[in-house]
Amino acid sequence: MKSILQGPELPTGCEATGLTTVIRWYGYDVSKMDIALKYMPSAPVYYSGGYLYGPDFITTFAGNPQTEGLSYGCYIPCLMTTANNYFSAVGSNYKAKNLTGTELEDLFPYVANNIPVILISTPELITPRTGDSWWTPDGRYVTWQRGHHCMVLMGYDIRNNKVYCADPMMRKGIVGYDL
């Protein structure tokens, strides 16, 4: 697997970059920019009247992955929509599968069968913190998890207590983490 780095074009685009890594793994020639800008649903986060407003990051990328400022990210359902938007556009029968809530060790059979798994984690596995909150168009108040990061689980070594990820933010590309 070839890891793709999100920078410098997508400073907050780890999700689009991780998804691009996986789609390219399946043999499709697509750029991280096309995934981020053509296929991923997104909406701005903005101030109005002293309040912060933006989309529900579960289904929509909150902000613009090409900027830092008021740009946050998205969760797996948005990535599934993005993947399915791409596959539909190119006439593929592939469909994304939601494994949210699955224990890490229960993902290993996918990897063992050459199926990379997109993970929502944190940079270098730091403990997440409460981030900014805003009002969604349907009137809900949502809170972003600061330290949110997307990477691709692509290998594991139980004997040496390691997992290997294509990490779009790390300069090394493929990173080993303690299990």
CA–CA separation, 149 and 14 (whole Å): 7
CA–CA separation, 34 and 103 (whole Å): 31
Within the chain, residue ranges assigned H as helices are 14-25, 32-34, 76-89, 108-112
List the pLDDT tens digit at each of the 179 positions of the chain: 888 999 999 999 999 999 999 999 999 999 999 999 999 999 999 999 999 999 999 999 999 999 999 999 999 999 999 999 999 999 999 999 999 999 999 999 999 999 999 999 888 788 889 999 999 999 999 999 998 999 999 999 999 999 999 999 877 789 999 98
CA–CA separation, 89 and 79 (whole Å): 15
Pairing between strand 174-178 and 46-48?
unpaired
Predicted pLDDT at 51: 97
CA–CA separation, 107 and 104 (whole Å): 5
CA–CA separation, 94 and 65 (whole Å): 25
Asked if omega into 8 is within 30° of 0 (cis), the reply is: yes
Pairing between strand 61-62 and 42-43?
parallel
Q: Which residue has the tokens 């400073």?
A: 11
CA–CA separation, 60 and 160 (whole Å): 38
Predicted pLDDT at 173: 81
Q: What's the predicted TM-score (pTM) here? A: 0.95
